[in-house]
Amino acid sequence: MKTIRIGSRESRLAVIQSELVMDAIRAHHPDVALELVTMKTTGDKILDRTLDQIGGKGLFVKELDAALLEGRADLSVHSCKDLPMDIDPRIPLAGFTRREDPRDVLVLPEGVAELDNSKPIGCASARRAVQLRALFPGMEIAPVRGNVLTRLRKLDEGQFSALVLAAAGLKRLGLEGRISRYFTVEEMLPAAGQGILALQSRAGEDLSWLSGVLDEEGTWCAVAERAFVRALDGGCSSPIAAHAVLSGGEICITGLYVDEEGTAIRRTVTGPREQGENLAERLAGEIKEACPCLEK
């Protein structure tokens, strides 16, 4: 019996996410043997600088990509929001999972009930930072790196008044009780793919053992949201957000871009879900027209 090796970052959250996928594979294909292969990525090692200063999201997948290409792993599990837009055609995306809660949340230090205005709110992305400044005018917003547990430790040590994190990660870690406030998607538009897991494998492989694991709704949303960001040439440092919702046979996509002067441009488009990718690209085009700095 062939053993399928699942590649994962070695953080606790990444391992839990990979185990969720492995449990789903076992439930639908009990005859498949699975092995978890963990590794520390470059992005996990460099914690004293923001991602845009060290090369962007690709630093979280470089080692996982190499493991796939070299045959040391057969499937990689990623947080979709952390996955670069450009994918090596030799290791295409195999699909996406059901979406967990896509919202961002506010987390206060343990035992604290209110924000301390003398300390910054910590967040790890330009997308969150620009939206936080509108929600909490006058509050300092500061970058924070590290995995979720590392960030929570920094918060509880008193370095920040609060953190903004993804609800999905906290729920998967069993830390839903740390959430002080859920931001609506109107208050803070999530990152493209937030709450969805992306699966990646080698081109030409038989992936029949993923049947029953992939999620149709998660796939429609992830493909559309990623298309919006890709059309705007968005990387980790770009203040871009996208969120799609399915209703019947339609998909509603909301996109956000913040221009060089800090002005947020937000647009929404709705249409047949089968046209989600084209709709997202059209939405990006509307934003480009509204923001001359994006025109080439």
Could you give the CA distance from residue 216 to residue 193 in angstroms, rounded to a whole number? Answer: 14
Structural domain contains residue 164 = yes
Residues 91 and 131 in one domain: no
Tokens read off for 242: 């996208």
Helices (H) and strands (E) in the chain, counts: 9, 13
State pLDDT tens for residues 234-282.
544 568 999 999 999 999 999 999 887 778 899 999 999 999 999 999 9
Residues 277 and 167 in one domain: no
Structural domain contains residue 35 = yes
What pLDDT is stored for residue 43 in this prediction? 47
Residues 88 and 5 in one domain: yes
Q: Which amino acid is at 206?
A: D
Structural domain contains residue 191 = no
| pTM (two decimals) | 0.90
Residues 82 and 205 in one domain: yes
Structural domain contains residue 121 = yes
Residues 29 and 79 in one domain: yes
Structural domain contains residue 256 = yes
> Is residue 46 over pLDDT 50?
no
CB-CB contact of 244 with 229 (8 Å): no
Which of 44, 82, 101, 215 is flagged as catalytic? 82
Q: Which residue has the higher pLDDT, 243 or 233?
A: 243
pLDDT band at 143 (very low <50, low <70, confident <90, very high): very high
Residues 201 and 78 in one domain: yes
Boundaries of domain holding 111: 104-182
The total number of residues shown for the chain amounts to: 296
Residue 211 Cα to chain centre, angstroms: 23
What pLDDT is stored for residue 55 in this prediction? 45
Classify 212 as helix, strand or coil: coil
**Three-state secondary structure of 56-119:** CHHHHCHHHHHHHHCCCCCEEEEEHHHCCCCCCCCCCEEEECCCCCCCEEEECCCCCCCCCCCC
Q: How many domains does the chain have?
A: 3
Residues 115 and 149 in one domain: yes
Radius of gyration, CA atoms only, the chain: 19
Question: Among 45-49, 70-74, 153-157, which stretch is predicted with the lowest mean pLDDT?
Answer: 45-49
Could you give the CA distance from residue 74 to residue 99 in angstroms, rounded to a whole number? Answer: 23
Report, as an integer, the average pLDDT of 79-95: 93
State pLDDT tens for residues 33-44.
999 999 976 544
CATH classification of the domain holding 24: 3.40.190.10
Residues 80 and 124 in one domain: no
Structural domain contains residue 142 = yes
Residues 167 and 233 in one domain: no
Could you give the CA distance from residue 244 to residue 122 in angstroms, rounded to a whole number? Answer: 26
Residues 203 and 89 in one domain: yes
State pLDDT tens for residues 116-141.
999 999 998 889 999 999 999 999 99
Report, as an integer, the average pLDDT of 44-73: 67
Residues 87 and 176 in one domain: no
- Catalytic residue check, 233: no
Residues 111 and 31 in one domain: no
Structural domain contains residue 188 = no
Classify 128 as helix, strand or coil: helix
